[in-house]
Amino acid sequence: MTVRVPAQVPAQSPPLVETDDDLRSRGSRWLRVLGQVIGPEAGVFERQLPFVLVYALCLVALTLVPSILVDASKLWLGSAIAALVIVLAWVLPWHRWRESAQIWLPVLQLLAIALLRTGTGGVASPFGSLLFLPAVMLAGRPGRAGVVVGTVGVAAVVEVPVILDADAEVTVALIVRSLFVAVVAGVVGIIVHEATSRLRARNAALAELQAHQLRLNDQLTEDAEALASLVRETEAARAHLGSVMDAVTEQAIVATDPDGVVEVFNPGAERMFGYTGDEVIGRRNLVSFFDRGELEARYRAVFDVDAVAAAEADADSLFAAVAAPTLTAGVLVRDWTFRRHDDSGGTLQLAVTRRIDGHGSTIGYVVVAADVTTEREAARLKDQFVSLVSHELRTPLSSVLSYVDLILDGPDPLTDEQREFLLVVERNARRQLRLVSDLLLTAQLDAGRFTIAHQDVDLADVARATLAEAAPGAEGAGVTLHLEAEPVHVPGDAMRLEQVVANLVSNAVKFTPRDGRIDVRVSASPDGGAVVSVTDTGIGIPPDELDRLATRFFRATTATQRAIPGIGLGLSIAKAIVEAHGGELAIASRVGEGTTFSFTLPGV
If pLDDT is split at 50, 70 and 90, which confidence band does 564 have? low
What's the pLDDT score for residue 4? 40
pLDDT tens column, 365-404: 888 888 888 877 777 777 677 667 666 766 777 777 787 7
Cα atoms in the Cβ-side hemisphere of radius 13 Å centred on 518: 33
Bridge partner list, 598: 533, 586
The dihedral over CA atoms of 551, 554, 559, 560, expressed in degrees to the nearest 10, equals: -170
- Nearest alpha-carbon partner for 493 in 519, 467, 456: 456
| More confident position, 554 or 46 | 46
What's the pLDDT score for residue 16? 44
- Which DSSP category does 359 fall into? T
DSSP track, 389-427: HHHHHHHHHHHHHHHHHHHHHSSS---HHHHHHHHHHHH
What's the pLDDT score for residue 356? 82
If pLDDT is split at 50, 70 and 90, which confidence band does 25 have? low
If pLDDT is split at 50, 70 and 90, which confidence band does 354 have? confident
pLDDT(561) > 70: no
Helices (H), 282-362: 292-303, 307-312, 315-323, 326-329
If pLDDT is split at 50, 70 and 90, which confidence band does 3 have? very low
Give the rounded percent of residues in the chain with a pLDDT score beyond 70. Answer: 79
- Average pLDDT of the chain, as a whole number: 77
φ and ψ at 455, to 5 degrees?
A: -155, 170
What's the pLDDT score for residue 160? 66
pLDDT average, residue stretch 111-133: 77
**How many CB atoms lie under 10 A from the CB of residue 100?**
12
Q: Which of 38-52, 246-260, 265-279 has the lowest mean pLDDT?
A: 38-52
If pLDDT is split at 50, 70 and 90, which confidence band does 568 have? low
pLDDT tens column, 484-517: 888 888 888 888 888 888 888 888 888 888 888 8
- Asked if residue 255 lies in contact with residue 365, where contact means CB atoms within 8 angstroms, the answer is yes
What's the pLDDT score for residue 369? 84
Q: Which of 371-385, 461-475, 522-536 has the lowest mean pLDDT?
A: 371-385
| More confident position, 410 or 558 | 410
pLDDT(285) > 70: yes
pLDDT average, residue stretch 29-54: 68
Please name the residues in contact with 570: beta carbons below 8 A apart, sequence gap of 6 or more. Answer: 438, 503, 504, 506, 507
What's the pLDDT score for residue 58? 86
pLDDT average, residue stretch 60-86: 85
pLDDT(5) > 50: no
- Nearest alpha-carbon partner for 84 in 52, 60, 116: 52
pLDDT tens column, 431-460: 777 777 766 676 666 666 667 778 888 888
- Asked if residue 500 lies in contact with residue 578, where contact means CB atoms within 8 angstroms, the answer is yes
Whether the model clears a pTM of 0.85, i.e. scores above it, the answer is no
Cα–Cα distance between 246 and 265 in angstroms, integer? 9
pLDDT average, residue stretch 552-556: 63
What's the pLDDT score for residue 174? 65
pLDDT average, residue stretch 245-267: 81
Pairing label, strands 594-601, 584-590: antiparallel
Bridge partner list, 251: 370
pLDDT(87) > 50: yes
| More confident position, 597 or 9 | 597
What's the pLDDT score for residue 210? 87
| More confident position, 402 or 18 | 402
Question: Crossing angle, helix 104-119 and helix 132-139, to 10 degrees?
Answer: 170
pLDDT(348) > 70: yes
Which own/partner pairs from 165-168 qualify as long-range (CB within 8 Å, at least 24 positions apart)? 165/118, 165/122, 168/122, 168/123
| More confident position, 188 or 459 | 459
What's the pLDDT score for residue 13? 44
Cα–Cα distance between 213 and 501 in angstroms, integer? 78
pLDDT(135) > 50: yes
pLDDT(166) > 60: no
